[in-house]
Structure 1
Amino acid sequence: MPYFIKLSLESQWLWTLSRCCLALLFFSSGLSKVLDVETGFQEMQAAGLEPTWLFNYGSALILLAGAYCILFDRHIWLGAALLSVFLTVTIFIVHTFWNMSGLQAQISLYFALEHISVIGGLIGTAIASHFRQQLKLCGVLA
């Protein structure tokens, strides 16, 4: 591996950038549910979730709490777990491609696959966080 790549992969700036990129998805979604309440309620209603206010604000809380954990490198395992469960539940409630047909089924399948891919990224981030903490304890990382 080239030395520059090795240094980059071990750097704090790349670790921070990767967490910012991952957290952006969840932070923006959670924030939109708080700032644009009407649209959030419409999303919950379209998914058949009642009471809409409870599911809207509950979703916002999970999304913002998970994003916070990842963004600020605090209990990343917890944030990743919260968001992974949220995405899994979303697949089974909203993106039920197995109950659909045609273009609607295809679009829902793509969303489900996207969610599964993001879950993989969340798991990878939690693993990386764990090993970075171990390396800090050993004095390998600053």
Structure 2
Amino acid sequence: MPTLIETLLTNRAVAVLARVILTFPFWGSGLDKLINFSGGVAEMRQFGLEPALFFNIAVFTTQLVGSALIISGRYVWLGAGALGIFTALTIPVVHRFWTMEGAAALHAFHTAAEHIGMIGGLITVSILAARTRSARSGEITMPRIVMAR
């Protein structure tokens, strides 16, 4: 790996920036649902989530708190887990491509696929946080495999 790339990838500021970027879809949506509260409630109603007021509060709280945990580097597993579960649940609730036809089905399928990729990113950020924590404490981060001769 080129030295410049390695320097960037091991820089703490770059790591924070990466976590901000990874969580942007969540904190951006959460801020929108908080600032435009009535719009968030209407969105919940659109997808049949009642009581819509409760669901709007639950969604923006999950999005904002989960993002903050990941960005801060504290309890990353908890923030990523909450956002991962939330993201997985949006597929059968909002992106039900199997119930649609034509362009709408294709769009919903691609959105669901992107959500699955995001879940992978959330798992990855949790793995990296665990490895970083283990490395700082001097623990072995990967199990050692002993091969029989």
Deviations 1:43-83 (A, max 9, x none): 11110111110111110111111001011111000000000
CA-based RMSD of the aligned residues comes to 1.3
Aligned residue runs from structure 1 range 36-51, under 5 A: 36-51=36-51
Provide the residue aligned with 1:115 in structure 2. Answer: 115
Aligned to 1:68: 68
AA in 1 matched with 2:45: Q
Instruction: For 1:83 and 1:104, locate their aligned partners in 2 and report how far apart those are by CA, in whole Å.
Output: 25
Identity of aligned residues (%): 36
Q: Which amino acid aligns with 1:107?
A: H
Distance 1:42 1:103 in 2: 24
Q: How does 1:24-103 map to 2 (within 5 A)?
A: 24-103=24-103
Please, which moves more after superposition, 55-64 or 17-26? 17-26
Which secondary structure does the structure 2 equivalent of 1:88 belong to?
helix
Higher relative contact order (CA 8 A, sep 6+): 1
* Structure of greater Rg: 2
How far, CA to CA, are the matches of 2:84 and 2:53 in structure 1?
A: 22
Paired residue secondary structure (1:82) = helix
Amino acid at match of 1:63: Q
Partner of 2:15: 15
Runs (5+) with no aligned partner, structure 2: 139-149
Q: Distance between the aligned counterparts of 2:63 and 2:75, measured in 1?
A: 15
Q: How many residues align?
A: 139
Normalised to the residue count of structure 1, the TM-score between the two structures is 0.93
Q: Which residue of 2 aligns with 1:128?
A: 128
Task: Identify unmatched segments of 5+ residues in structure 1.
Answer: none
Task: Quote the offset at 1:13 in angstroms.
Answer: 1.5
User: How much does 1:133 deviate?
Assistant: 1.3
Runs of 4+ in 1 over 2 A off after TM superposition: none
